[in-house]
Amino acid sequence: MDLRELHVLHWRGAHVACATVPESRAGLDVFLIDTCQRRVALLRGSEHAEQAQAEFPADGVLESFEGNEAYAFLLRFACGLESKLVAETEIFGQIKVAWRQFSERGSPLARQLSPWMQLLFQDAKGIRAQYLGRLGSASYGSQVRRLLAAPESDGAEIAAPTLGPTLLIGAGQLAQSVAPWLTGTELWLWNRTIVRAQELARELAKRAEKPVRVIEGGVDAELAAWRAADNVVVCVPGDPAHDAARIAAWRGGAGTDGGARRGRIVHLGLGADGIAPWSGLPELVSLGSLFDMLRSQSELRARQLQRAHHACREKAVLRNLGAGCSQSHSWEDLAAFYSL
Ligand SMILES: NC(=O)c1ccc[n+]([C@@H]2O[C@H](COP(=O)([O-])OP(=O)(O)OC[C@H]3O[C@@H](n4cnc5c(N)ncnc54)[C@H](OP(=O)(O)O)[C@@H]3O)[C@@H](O)[C@H]2O)c1
């Protein structure tokens, strides 16, 4: 497959992502990548692009890219440059998992895309190493760790967090990536499906960094953990049926030393909207406020990101000149770069 035939559709919007790579509703041979911030479709040619629009939610704008523009978009996507948490690293793993699931289906598109996906992973790693390595870790886990370690910059409402137990709610993809970053004397895990929390506990125990305990015993045990934990990190969506009880339990609790509450709730399942009934809690950091914090980037960080964006465009032009080509090597190539 020639890179000129690559067609990519992109829908941006917060939604609950599918746990496995979605099958095409229209019966098309299309590679769909679904994350909580977007849905992306990869197709061969634009022949079926109109039909493929049915794979996306009806609201919002659908962007369309072809050829090297499509490859450049995929590179930005894989490098985390399209993510709200700019340059985050989880997205690379999510795309790899999605690709593995899609390629196992063995469709003609899976075979045609295969060499391009390998180049994409190689180029994304190169760009990350060259331009984004010194940005500092940009995983959700690293940001949560920073939040739990640092007192509020204005120092007004929240005292410095303590190092008592941290309660992690959830055992899905996000919880798994955040868990290893959590500090505290002990890590408590609660999940609706208890076996998933037990699996996560076993994984974490292999690292043996701190004691890990699974909270068993239903809703009462969960609420008791909300009362007793110093910090809570929530990696499940907001839940209208249970959130009020969770908030009441948090408010009813005290710090591990018996004094006033000093920790934080970091709720990654709450987007910019839908904060109620959490908004009354001064200790709350939602995903939206985490993004806002990160938006106040230093100039240096902005310059590095600009260079990474440029590198994605440059790599895509080079790949369009020939799959094996990764460095500019002739006078003709200069014409292609003139427009960058
Ligand atoms: N993945 C990311 O990079 C990312 C980034 C930012 C924000 N988020 C948000 O974080 C949340 C979790 O995402 P994820 O990627 O970890 O999803 P996931 O892998 O599908 O896991 C979903 C988690 O939420 C739990 N859950 C779902 N509905 C629930 C309900 N009604 N009551 C109690 N628990 C429920 C699941 O419990 P069971 O095991 O019992 O099903 C599981 O622990 C979502 O709100 C997502 O929008 C994710």
**Per-residue pLDDT tens for 191-225?**
999 999 999 999 998 887 779 999 998 899 999 99
Among 273, 223, 274, which residue's Cα sits nearest to residue 251?
223
User: Residue 44 has what pLDDT?
Assistant: 96
User: Residue 299 has what pLDDT?
Assistant: 65
Residues 86-111 have pLDDT tens digits of 888 889 999 999 999 999 999 999 99
Q: Please state which CATH number belongs to domain 3-137+299-338.
A: 3.30.460.30
Q: What's the predicted TM-score (pTM) here?
A: 0.67
User: Residue 153 has what pLDDT?
Assistant: 45
* Rounded Cα distance, 161 and 233, in Å: 13
* Rounded Cα distance, 319 and 324, in Å: 7
User: Residue 84 has what pLDDT?
Assistant: 85
CATH 3.40.50.720 occupies which residues in the chain? 140-294
Pocket test for ligand 1, best of 168, 192, 286 (most atoms within 8 A of CB): 192
User: Residue 152 has what pLDDT?
Assistant: 47
User: Residue 326 has what pLDDT?
Assistant: 57
Pocket test for ligand 1, best of 12, 196, 236, 246 (most atoms within 8 A of CB): 236
Q: What's the gap in Å between 191 CA and the centre of ligand 1?
A: 10
Give the other-Cβ count within 10 Å of 83's Cβ.
19
Tell me which residues have their CB closer than 6 angstroms to ligand 1.
19, 36, 90, 140, 170-175, 191-193, 196, 235-237, 239, 268-269, 287
Sheet arrangement for strand 38-44: 31-35, 38-44, 6-12, 62-66
User: Residue 187 has what pLDDT?
Assistant: 95
E strand intervals along the chain? 6-12, 31-35, 38-44, 62-66, 166-169, 187-190, 212-214, 231-234, 265-267, 284-286
Answer for the pair 215, 221: CB distance below 8 angstroms, yes or no.
yes
Give the residue ranges of the chain where pLDDT is below 70.
134-138, 150-163, 255-260, 272-274, 295-300, 323-340
User: Residue 158 has what pLDDT?
Assistant: 41
Q: What's the gap in Å between 299 CA and the centre of ligand 1?
A: 34
Q: Please state which CATH number belongs to domain 140-294.
A: 3.40.50.720
User: Residue 162 has what pLDDT?
Assistant: 53
Answer for the pair 165, 188: CB distance below 8 angstroms, yes or no.
yes
Q: What's the gap in Å between 267 CA and the centre of ligand 1?
A: 11
Q: What's the gap in Å between 101 CA and the centre of ligand 1?
A: 20
The C-alpha angle 56, 60, 64, rounded to 5 degrees, equals 65
CATH 3.30.460.30 occupies which residues in the chain? 3-137+299-338
User: Residue 330 has what pLDDT?
Assistant: 54
